[in-house]
Structure 1
Amino acid sequence: MQHPVSAPLCMTTANYADRIGFAQLTRQAFEGVDLHPLRDQLLTRIAAGTALAGEGLDLSLITQLLGDKEQGLAIQSEVLAFHQLFRTPSAAPKPGLRVLALAADIDMGGNTPIEFLLEGSDIELLTLYVVEGVGLPKDLPEHDVAIVVASDSEECREALASIGRVAPHWPRPLLNRPDRIGNLDRDKLHRLLAGVPGLDIPATIHATRAQLSDLSRGQIACRDIAAELRFPMIARPRGSHAGVGLAKLDDAAAIAAYLAERDEQDFFVARFVDYVSPDGLYRKYRLAMVDGKPYACHMAIADRWDIWYLNAYMAFSEEKRAEEAIFMRDFEHAFAARHGSALDEMSRRVGLDYFIVDCAENQSNELLVFEADNTAVVHNMDSPDVFPYKPPQMRKIFAAFSAMLSRHAGAGAGSAT
């Protein structure tokens, strides 16, 4: 039964379905475990009509991990049509805290991977999927604190709107409020952070295919799309992620060649910032902002500007890993201290309890922000033999996240049920 907007929200005993969950299955895939036998086992149970809802959701994730995103999403939507609440048990025999995560029906990268952040804790996680046409239940499951894990993507808009309509009546503290998640949109974040001293964020501008085509033929100038736009520029299809379709366009001819390879009608463009270091290498950082405080997640070093951790090949360079280790070790009194005021103001303006920032330092030593989101994976899956400095850092982030949840739960302990 869908919740009426004006009615108070009540809590009741949870009718949840247990599942293996995102963290365990993703870890197995990361470590090279063959998931085909488990997939086939779950398919057999579904064919026999004996599968439980949690097993159906696990099958959806396994299917996506095996590379069939479309089929995985179809399975997920079918499961969520009749069951929306799932439990990932805590590592402790008796949970010390109950967290309710509010998720959307989207691919495995579209919700905050909160299970990684809670690994090894005494926190029990309930995930409630807010499904279009179903919305939120009249009675919520018992919990101590809730957090919105749906992203700012187009596919999550209806879920965020549904949560937003009842957020004022929430019976427990509600973190990462849905109206603030929208601040992370690529074409909104630069406006939100404009004018922050010591922070550089290029304007991300929507451009149609027709506009870019006109620009490639010299019929319009860069300034006709946006005042600050110029060559070289960065382009990507609107709605794309993980570097799909990302390109540096140096001139009009490069735009023409780029459009010839792509079918999309809408793009994001931004001025290119050359953030190369004096040694000719690029350094890109991922930070976790937890309860207003920055934490180092990783540092990627490569000889290319379009860098992310995987294409930096950090595992193959002892020298790069040594620099990343120093970055993590000295983070609080080095990087975080240099950019402390910019990070503080960014956190204040974004207004989220937890989010991720991908950034660098420009050639004026300002904090160069590429993007911020609430769904980037922060994990502890890397080999401790290759990255011995990472597990302590990840545990520090996880502890801060759990402490944030506990602090808010304690502050809301007297809320009405």
Structure 2
Amino acid sequence: MWAPRKLRESLLQGSQAVGDIERARLLAEVGRTVEARDAYLEILGRDPSHRLALNNLGMLLYETGYRTAARTAYARAAAQHPDDPLSLVNLANALRENGDGAAARAHYERALRLKPDHAAAHQGLGCILADEGDSVGAAEHWRRGFESRPIVTLPYRGRRPPISVLLLAAAAGGNVAMRNFLDDRVFETHIVFVEYFDFANALPLHRLVINAIGDADLAASALSAARSLLALTRAPVINAPSAVGATGRSDNARRLADIPGVVTPGAETLPRSLIEGTDAVNVLKRHGFEFPLLIRSPGFHTGLHFVRVETIAGLPPALNELPGDELTVMRYLDARGADGKSRKYRVMMIDGELYPLHLAISAAWKIHYFTAEMTDNAEHRAEDAEFLEGMASVLGAKAMTALREIQKRLGLDYAGIDFGLNANGEILLFEANAAMVVNPPEPDDKWAYRRAAIERIYAAVRTMLLARSRVR
């Protein structure tokens, strides 16, 4: 347990009385992150292989936005301490987030050979197996990772009594990164993995419930469990599970299709057997699809298991790449501009208001901000900045009216929409749901123009959470 804040501050005044690692921890604890970083670097200057210094520095770097540097620290810790499960799992988590599933899996598996009951390693490996399409293996590792700890209470660092929050999460993933908005000097967060919660037990005391389960296609069973859990509380709820459950790709394609100024992809989730059969062309035509078209395995994000099929001849090899007994088929919506490059806008919808998050530009049809042509293209960043500073003028009145109607129909307190624009100024709907991530920009100065827009989003979420958690 951490010492009270005043005692921690007094300990820092006499650093000789505290070990170097403890001093660095205390500096981080009271928010003096630059000094904490320097303290860890000082330790590593004397002992470059110091296990705790490397792992703690990695955590500090990660939390302050230096994700690449954090991976470097974790990689060094794992290299210097190949038999330490903590170092291996920290590196695996960072690699998984960066999209290197194969390397992450190797480190999770090594950690479990060293410590078979390591809960975090089981949880992470479950996510890797799910991404690979091994639902049975994923479920077993999630059971072993979450069953013994269905509720995790995060440390609280504030000086005043906390605002206690229940954060409902799905073990299978598809969760909103709401922890980024929950300042641990204001909120005490109890994460409840709803699939493993024993309804015979009492919930922790709380003033607010945040449903962080955001992917209706991936986490239908978790959303069902969340709805049942809400019978145990009378606290205000952010993002009601029933509203989230109506935001699957196929559901959205149907219920948003009649909005003026919106073009949907007509998504339909079909049994794989129908698309693999000899009558596939007619099946697709009956559902309104022509080539080129898009097919994806439900429940995956960041472009994983998502392909474009140009002709009927390309259908069999494309299906071989996709896991799952059901597949979602969509019309290809051409979001290319006059320069031939595709544009994907993301707008966040928070407590009834619209906030621009980013514009990603790429020569590829499959666009994500972290892989788009933004880092090395100043013109693209300038176009992104123009969108962030003047969303309404960039999108036009037709698109803005459509966005407001989409927000109304979603009925969510926190959500986002990814879309393109056609030549008529209409919204080309890619997806709209609660599972949208708001990552802070890397500290590099080239991203300085994005910080004000992202801070507006963070401020809006914080304001909403504080307002909803007030005692009635």
TM-score by length of 1: 0.79
Q: 2:210 is paired with a residue of what secondary structure?
A: strand
* Distance verdict in 2 for CA 1:63–1:256, change over 3 Å: closer
Partner of 1:186: 249
* Distance verdict in 2 for CA 1:221–1:116, change over 3 Å: same
Q: 2:448 is paired with a residue of what secondary structure?
A: coil
Partner of 1:131: 195
Which amino acid is 1:323 matched to? E
> Over residues 230-253 of structure 1, what are the superposed CA-to-partner deviations in whole Å (9 max), with x where a residue is unaligned?
222111233332212322223211
Any residues of structure 2 matched to 1:138-177 within 5 Å, and which? 138-153=201-216, 156-177=219-240
Any residues of structure 2 matched to 1:299-318 within 5 Å, and which? 299-318=359-378
1:104 pairs with one of 170, 174, 180: 170
2:461 pairs with one of 387, 401, 405: 401
Q: How far apart, in 1, do the equivalents of 2:153 and 2:425 lie?
A: 45
2:180 pairs with one of 116, 120, 139: 116
Q: How far apart, in 1, do the equivalents of 2:85 and 2:466 lie?
A: 38
CA contact under 8 A between 1:116 and 1:380: conserved in structure 2? no
Partner of 1:380: 440
Larger relative contact order (CA 8 Å, sep ≥ 6): 1
CA contact under 8 A between 2:395 and 2:425: conserved in structure 1? no
Partner of 1:324: 384
Using the TM superposition, name which of 382-391 and 247-256 deviates more: 247-256
Using the TM superposition, name which of 176-185 and 370-379 deviates more: 370-379
> Over residues 99-152 of structure 1, what are the superposed CA-to-partner deviations in whole Å (9 max), with x where a residue is unaligned?
321112124xx21111223358733433222233x3446322222211101233
Q: How far apart, in 2, do the equivalents of 1:185 and 1:221 lie?
A: 22
Any residues of structure 2 matched to 1:10-409 within 5 Å, and which? 25=62, 27=65, 29-31=67-69, 32-36=71-75, 44=84, 61=93, 64-65=96-97, 67-68=104-105, 71=122, 72-73=124-125, 77-89=143-155, 92-94=158-160, 97-107=163-173, 110-118=174-182, 122-132=186-196, 134-136=197-199, 138-153=201-216, 156-214=219-277, 220=282, 222-224=284-286, 226=287, 228-262=288-322, 264-335=324-395, 337-409=397-469
Partner of 1:52: none
CA contact under 8 A between 1:222 and 1:230: conserved in structure 2? yes
Partner of 1:12: none
Q: 1:128 is paired with a residue of what secondary structure?
A: strand
Give the total of aligned pairs. 380
CA contact under 8 A between 1:283 and 1:301: conserved in structure 2? yes
Q: How far apart, in 1, do the equivalents of 2:374 and 2:245 lie?
A: 33
* Distance verdict in 2 for CA 1:308–1:264, change over 3 Å: same
CA contact under 8 A between 2:349 and 2:416: conserved in structure 1? yes
Q: 2:428 is paired with a residue of what secondary structure?
A: strand
Q: How far apart, in 2, do the equivalents of 1:276 and 1:233 lie?
A: 16
Q: How far apart, in 1, do the equivalents of 2:60 and 2:410 lie?
A: 27
Q: 2:417 is paired with a residue of what secondary structure?
A: strand
Q: How far apart, in 1, do the equivalents of 2:159 and 2:267 lie?
A: 48
Q: How far apart, in 1, do the equivalents of 2:447 and 2:392 lie?
A: 20
CA contact under 8 A between 1:223 and 1:230: conserved in structure 2? yes
Q: 2:260 is paired with a residue of what secondary structure?
A: coil
1:337 Cα offset (Å):
5.0
* Distance verdict in 2 for CA 1:221–1:60, change over 3 Å: closer
Q: How far apart, in 2, do the equivalents of 1:237 and 1:205 lie?
A: 12
Q: How far apart, in 2, do the equivalents of 1:106 and 1:348 lie?
A: 28
* Distance verdict in 2 for CA 1:77–1:311, change over 3 Å: same
CA contact under 8 A between 1:99 and 1:144: conserved in structure 2? yes
CA contact under 8 A between 1:208 and 1:266: conserved in structure 2? yes
1:28 Cα offset (Å):
5.4
Greater strand share, structure number: 1
Q: Which consecutive residues of structure 2, in runs of 5 or more, have no partner in the other structure? A: 1-28, 30-55, 98-102, 110-121, 127-140
Which amino acid is 2:315 matched to? I
1:361 Cα offset (Å):
0.8
Which amino acid is 2:264 matched to? I
Using the TM superposition, name which of 56-65 and 32-41 deviates more: 56-65
* Distance verdict in 2 for CA 1:38–1:81, change over 3 Å: farther
CA contact under 8 A between 2:269 and 2:329: conserved in structure 1? yes
What do you get for the CA RMSD once the two structures are aligned?
3.4
% identical equivalent positions:
26
Q: 1:147 is paired with a residue of what secondary structure?
A: strand
